[in-house]
Amino acid sequence: MAKYTPPEQSRFMQWVDIIFVVAAIFLALWLPLQAGWAGVSRAIQKIENPTWEALGQTPAQVEQWVKLGFADAAAAHDIIQNKFDYTIDWVQLIILTIVIAGYFIFLFKASDKEYRDVIDEKFNHKSKKG
C-alpha cells in the first residue's frame, strides 16, 4: 500500500495564507468596533452638577476614585455613567448566526470531500459510490 503524501504548498502561497488569516482576524476584531456594534455604550446618561451620591458611589468607592486622581464627582462623571449597552439587535444576531453556520457547513463539506479523496487514494478507489 502506497504511503499517502499530502499536496505541498509553495512558500508564496504560505505567505498568502498567513496574510489572509492575519487580515481576517484584524477585520473580525476591528470592524465591529468601527461600525459601533461593540465596545462602548450608545450614550452617557448626563447628570447636571453631579455629586458622589447622585452617581451612586459609596464612601469606600469615593475614596478609591480620589486615589485614582478624580478629586470630585464631576471629573469621574463620564466614566461612572458610561454604562455598557446590553440591548440585542436581533437582525445582526440572526445574520451572525447564519454566517457562522454557513462557515461550518462549508468547513464540514470541504473536509468531507478531502477525507473521501484521501480514503479513495489510500484504498485504490474502492470507496467510490455507484
Structure confidence at residue 125 as a pLDDT band (50, 70, 90): low
69-86 pLDDT, tens digit per residue, is 998 999 999 888 887 777
Q: Is the pLDDT of residue 130 over 50?
A: no
**3-class SS of residue 47:** coil
Bigger pLDDT: 64 vs 83: 64
Tell me what pLDDT residue 40 has.
60
Amino acid, single-letter form, for residue 31: L
Over residues 58-70, the mean pLDDT reads 95
Q: Which of 43, 22, 31 has the alpha carbon at shortest distance from 87?
A: 43
The greatest distance separating any two alpha carbons of the chain, rounded to the nearest whole angstrom, comes to 83
Residue 73 in grid coordinates: 464627582
CA 59/CA 52 separation, integer angstroms:
8
Answering whether pTM is above 0.75, one says no
**3-class SS of residue 103:** helix
